[in-house]
Amino acid sequence: MQPTPYQVRTHNASTESENRMHSDDVARQFGFKGGLVPGVTVFSHMTQPLVARYGEAWLARGTAEVSFAKPAYEGELLTIHTADEANGAHTLTCLNEQGVELARMSATLPATAGKPDARSNIPPAPPQAERPTVTWDLMEVNNPFPALAWSPTREDNLVWCRDNRDELALYREGPTPPLHPGFILRQANFVLRKRFVLPAWIHAASRITFFEAARVGADYEVRAIPEEKWNHKGHEFVRLYVAVRCGQHTVAEVLHTAIFRPRVRAV
C-alpha cells in the first residue's frame, strides 16, 4: 500500500527577491503567467513525506534528485505522491490542481552515510570586491567561487518552515533542531548569487546528498565550483558542484543545475 498523498497550498515568499523571475512582471516577459514559486520551495514540499516517515535519519544520510518540469504559482494546491520502489528507493511527484506534473524526485535512505566528493576540500576563491553581471564567458568551468558564510538561527529555520507550510515538529524541538532540507538547498542558489548578479534565472534540477544532520546555531561555509555549462534552445545552463561545510566536515553536497541566462521571449 502506497503512502497517503501530502497536500500543501504553496506560497511564493520570494516576490521581492533579486531573482526577478519570482515577480509577476518579469516572469511574464519570459512567457510565464506570473511569478514562479522557487524550486527550493517545491523541493521543500516534496521532502515533507520523507522526513515525516524517516525523521532525522533521512536528514543525516539521505539522498534526493529532483527535476522541475513546470512552474508552480502562488496559492496553488499541490499534491505530493510517494511511490515506494522495490529497491527501497522512493519516487515522489508533485502535481498541481489540474493534475499537471510539476516536479519529480527520486530519494533513498542508505544504511550508512556516503563520503563527500574530493572537490569539497578545494579552497574557495578569495572574496571579490563586487559582483559582475553573469555572462557565458564569466561562468568559468572548474573555477571555484568565493565561499558563502551562513549562520542560520533557530528563527531563520522557523521562518523557512512557516513560509513553506511545513508543520513537522522535529524542526521545532530541542535547543538545536535540524535545519530544513529546503533551507540547506537554498544556499546553493545563494552561493551562485554571491558570485554574480543574475537578473532573472531558473532553478532546473538538483541532486543533494546528506552526510550528517545540519543544525541551527552552527557556522557553515558554502563552496561552489561550476562543473559544466551548456546551451539548449537558447537557454544558458550551468551545473555547480556545491559543498556545505561545517568546520572540516562536509555535511551536504549538491549538484545544482540552473538556467543562468534564460532565452528572451520573442516579441
Q: Give the count of beta carbons closer than 10 Å to the beta carbon of residue 203.
A: 25
pLDDT of 179: 98
Please state the separation of Cα 188 from the chain's center in Å. Answer: 7
Cα pseudo-dihedral 153, 157, 160, 166, rounded to 10 = -170
Q: At what angle do helices 154-163 and 181-195 cross, to 10 degrees?
A: 100
- Report percent pLDDT > 90 for the chain: 81
* Residue-wise burial string across 223-232, b where 16 or more C-beta atoms lie within 10 A, e elsewhere: bbbbeeeeee
Mean pLDDT of the chain: 92
* Cβ pair 71, 19 in contact under 8 A: no
User: Cα–Cα distance between 109 and 228 in angstroms, integer?
Assistant: 28
Cell of 117: 566528493
Residue with cell 555572462: 135
Cell of 266: 520573442
Helices (H), the chain: 24-29, 39-54, 56-61, 154-163, 181-195
* Cβ pair 48, 6 in contact under 8 A: yes
pLDDT of 264: 73
Note the pLDDT tens digit of each residue in 185-237: 999 999 999 999 998 888 999 999 999 999 999 999 999 999 999 999 989 99
User: Cα–Cα distance between 219 and 231 in angstroms, integer?
Assistant: 36
Element (DSSP H or E) covering residue 7 = strand 6-9
| Confidence tier at 267 by pLDDT (50, 70, 90) | very low
pLDDT of 258: 96
Mean pLDDT of 161-187: 97
Note the pLDDT tens digit of each residue in 55-76: 999 999 999 999 999 999 989 9
User: Cα–Cα distance between 117 and 5 in angstroms, integer?
Assistant: 34
* Cβ pair 259, 174 in contact under 8 A: no
pTM to 2 decimal places: 0.94
- Beta strand residue intervals within 27-168, DSSP E: 63-68, 77-84, 90-95, 101-108, 148-150
User: Cα–Cα distance between 23 and 15 in angstroms, integer?
Assistant: 5
User: Cα–Cα distance between 41 and 186 in angstroms, integer?
Assistant: 9
Residue with cell 516534496: 46
